[in-house]
Structure 1
Amino acid sequence: MKTLRLYLLALLALTAGACNRTSEKETETRRNLVYGIDADNYRLETAEVGKGETMSKILNSYGITVRQIDRLDRASKEIFPLRNIRPGHKYTVFIHEDSLYSPHLDYLVYETDRTGFVVFGFHDNDSVSVRKDTKPMTIRRTQRSAVINSSLWGSIMEQNLPYSLAAEMENIYQWTVDFFGIQKGDSFTVIYDELFIDDTVSAGIGRVWGAKFTQGGKEYYAIPYRQGGKIQYWEADGASLRKQLLKAPLKYTRISSKFSYARKHPIYKVYRPHTGVDYAAPKGTPVHAVADGVVTFKGWAGGGGKTLKIKHAGNLMTGYLHLSGYAKGIAQGKRVSQGQLIGYVGSTGASTGPHLDYRIWRNGTPIDPLKIPQKPAEPISKQNRAGFEYVRERIMAELNGTISDEERITQLDSIPAPTKPAVPADSTAAAPAKATAKPAKK
């Protein structure tokens, strides 16, 4: 009996402890936390920093003394200097009232951007505190599809998708998909993480988990996989989506004139070769190097105006004509990398309006930039093939809607190694069927 009583007492103690822990957890969940502060204890006021307003002026209006402001200024220098506040940014004050109903400012929270904020605290004995933090984010895995009517950006806006998704897809497919050759009826399906503040306010996108872009009836998959220490995107067969050259040296524009040996010049009104592609774009549009290389010419080139020429591997050279200016650091003899900013669209030289005349030569012979064969970068390595195929099967199944939520890929840093089937002790039991065996009738 004594043993039974001790057992019951112990059981009651454990149950009480569990109840207390549950109660504490429920209490924590019920707390109204705003910027990590229990807001139920305060009266909150929200405003925006006015033009010419300083943090000292704002704090002084809430009764914070010059001495406290000086301490706060020194305490915040390494975290967020008070002089860095900007007009139009939101701030929230947390005010409590003492027994005589006199208001006291305990915290001022300044929002540095859409997600970041700084908490300035004012405590007993004139002490202060400074804490920098970010708003909690909710991540929602999202899959969306769209048929393109005019452009990728147009379809993104029509479907009310995050604008950053269009930029991310252009970055992924910039070597493979011709975004200047988009036609009505082309389509895409994409899986991505969408970020939300307070579960309601969209804060852009996170990782793109996979995509399928259909252009001219051909499907281009983008499968993420880590190789060489970073996550890159690959075609379904394991070839890299990265190619020797970018499809185009700039974005957000249109082709106004194509490669031709007999084009009527818009200024001289005579037929002459135009061995390049003209991209109409606003003055100042960034121009990027299409491949790694060395600048061989920077300067005025007659009708071409301000021009850059870059030599690349494989006896290739690219030219960028009619620029309004050059990027900082660009000089003859300098090495540039693929995608690097090299200049800006202009209308210098013989030009009727702002555009980029983009040219490619191989061994000195001009070739059509829209028809140059592309060599892919290094493919998936042999040692990564099994892991890549594991990811590819699940991403493609998710894109095509044939996989459950439990089976989909949720991380790319620890892909399980494929397991070999165990060989039974009785090897005769595992003998494969003969190749001549007829398939079962359906």
Structure 2
Amino acid sequence: MNGLKITICALLLAAAGACNRTQGPAVEVEDAEEPHNMLYGINADDYRTETGEVGSGETLGKILNGFGVSALAVDRLDKASKEVFPLRNIRAGHKYTAFIHEDSLYAPHLDYLAYEISVTDYVVFGFHDDSVSVRKDAKAYTLRRTKKSAVINSSLWGAIMEQQLPYALAAELEDIYQWTVDFFGIQKGDDFTVIYDERFIDDTVSVGIGRIWGAKFSQGGKEYYAIPFRQGGKIQYWEADGASLRKQMLKAPLKYSRISSKFSYARKHPIYKVYRPHTGVDYAAPKGTPVHAVADGTVTFKGWGGGGGNTLKIKHAGNLMTGYLHLSGYAKGIVKGSRVSQGQLIGYVGSTGASTGPHLDYRVWKNGTPIDPLKIPSEPAEPIARENRALFEFVRDRITAELNGEVSPEEQITQLDSLVLPATVQTPDKQ
């Protein structure tokens, strides 16, 4: 009887197995693994790759011919790539990678050639039987939040280089503080702290910076904070008290220069050798250095100014007028009557007129009377609105805490577009 039970059970199991076989194997199938060797968006495991560098005078056609691509295919590629990346833009010294497969007879065929336009950007040329393709893309990067501090020994740029910080930081800090910090008056011992996102490819190669999340600049014992906050649909930087860092007038009309002569009513003229008023500030800078309007206004004079050489004068609100002398040339579109915006390119440093070398003579008049450009009181732009005050202070407190110490990742401000006040923070209307 026991043997009969065993036989019946065996038959039932066999039948169940047969049923299972009609429905497919009763086994778990693992998901296919994602390709792990992706280069320029291509699975490199499927190819033999060769890397090279564009030689001096070498064309893409010559490189492709070396991989067996016909002249007809190169011509097709030239036409297909005109709107994406013209082949004539290939430059010597840039890296390329060829993706080659071998057919059943082991003959090599080029499927793709990736050309690096820059450290981050690349273009992939594809060859598919009788057709070609062109794809422009950028390498994926990661952001690394970084806080750095530096003491200035000579200049902001010098401190950036000494600390081996990204060069872009100097330009960003100058843009943020251009209305507030006198970069021509920086002294040894001034310092700064800045929080920023740095971009990395493959977690090792730095390819620039992202947002500046906050900064503190100490000049002459005074601290200037820069707090990012969105108001009026635009992210700008604000002082700790909510005043805008943006002012009515820029501190200076150009960058990367030095003051060679200050405002004076008794300066010995370098050419005429007599004492006479110099009611402006001279900024020594290389010929061609861009000159920018210090405030919104209207061009009232463009032309030859005698000893001042090529000159521009711009009228601004508040009965202010600025002058830019010894220019080598004017920006495109600048004519008498032109409306210009603060920071707009208006001309280039030169040495025209009575000048011993390239420099910009920058002048300011108030109600027709010359005033020292280095001592102009400048009103700030619109401050933080009352309805935004509580949210701004929430952001400010966390940014300043991070600048002055360490905060947990949960306390860091990592976005500025959809901030919500914690329930524990009271708004002015609820106090």
TM-score by length of 1: 0.87
TM-aligned CA deviation for residue 72 of structure 1: 2.9
TM-aligned CA deviation for residue 305 of structure 1: 1.2
**What code does the residue aligned with 1:65 have?**
S
1:110 aligns with 2:115: yes
Candidates 330, 336, 339, aligned match of 1:332: 336
TM-aligned CA deviation for residue 407 of structure 1: 1.0
C-alpha distance 226-269 of structure 1, shift in aligned 2 (>3 A)? same
Candidates 25, 30, 43, aligned match of 1:20: 30
CA RMSD of aligned residues (A): 2.2
1:247 aligns with 2:251: yes
The residue number in structure 2 matching 1:361 is 365
Deviations 1:249-280 (A, max 9, x none): 01111111111111111112211111111111
SS of residue matched to 1:104: strand
1:271 aligns with 2:275: yes
- In structure 2, runs of 5+ residues without a counterpart are 1-19, 21-26, 427-431
The residue number in structure 1 matching 2:45 is 40
TM-aligned CA deviation for residue 157 of structure 1: 0.3
The residue number in structure 2 matching 1:82 is 87
SS of residue matched to 1:406: helix
The residue number in structure 2 matching 1:431 is none
Residue correspondence of structure 1 range 44-193 to structure 2 within 5 A: 44-123=49-128, 125-193=129-197
C-alpha distance 410-420 of structure 1, shift in aligned 2 (>3 A)? closer
CA contact (8 A) 1:395 1:408 kept: yes
CA distance in 2, matches of 1:421, 1:263: 58
CA distance in 2, matches of 1:372, 1:321: 19
CA distance in 2, matches of 1:112, 1:149: 37
TM-aligned CA deviation for residue 41 of structure 1: 2.5
Deviations 1:226-271 (A, max 9, x none): 1121110000011000000000001111111111111111112211
C-alpha distance 421-250 of structure 1, shift in aligned 2 (>3 A)? closer
The residue number in structure 1 matching 2:239 is 235
CA distance in 1, matches of 2:42, 2:424: 53
TM-aligned CA deviation for residue 78 of structure 1: 3.3
1:413 aligns with 2:417: yes
SS of residue matched to 1:205: strand
Task: Answer with 76-85 or 294-303: which moved more.
Answer: 76-85
CA contact (8 A) 1:387 1:418 kept: no
TM-aligned CA deviation for residue 115 of structure 1: 1.0
CA distance in 1, matches of 2:425, 2:64: 70
- In structure 1, runs of 5+ residues without a counterpart are 1-8, 10-15, 423-442
CA contact (8 A) 1:386 1:418 kept: no
The residue number in structure 1 matching 2:397 is 393
CA distance in 1, matches of 2:347, 2:360: 10
1:223 aligns with 2:249: no
CA distance in 1, matches of 2:339, 2:374: 25
The residue number in structure 1 matching 2:303 is 299
Task: Answer with 67-76 or 165-174: which moved more.
Answer: 67-76
The residue number in structure 1 matching 2:374 is 370
CA contact (8 A) 1:180 1:255 kept: yes
CA contact (8 A) 1:226 1:413 kept: yes
C-alpha distance 71-282 of structure 1, shift in aligned 2 (>3 A)? closer
Tell me the number of residue pairs that the alignment of Structure 1 and Structure 2 aligns. 404
**What code does the residue aligned with 1:59 have?**
L
SS of residue matched to 2:410: coil
Task: Answer with 325-334 or 158-167: which moved more.
Answer: 325-334
Task: Answer with 55-64 or 252-261: which moved more.
Answer: 55-64
TM-score by length of 2: 0.89
C-alpha distance 274-118 of structure 1, shift in aligned 2 (>3 A)? same
TM-aligned CA deviation for residue 49 of structure 1: 2.4
TM-aligned CA deviation for residue 144 of structure 1: 0.2
Candidates 386, 389, 399, aligned match of 1:382: 386
CA contact (8 A) 1:306 1:349 kept: yes
Of all paired residues, the percent bearing the same amino acid is 79
TM-aligned CA deviation for residue 57 of structure 1: 2.3
Candidates 28, 31, 56, aligned match of 2:36: 31
The residue number in structure 2 matching 1:282 is 286
TM-aligned CA deviation for residue 402 of structure 1: 3.8
TM-aligned CA deviation for residue 313 of structure 1: 0.2
C-alpha distance 67-355 of structure 1, shift in aligned 2 (>3 A)? closer
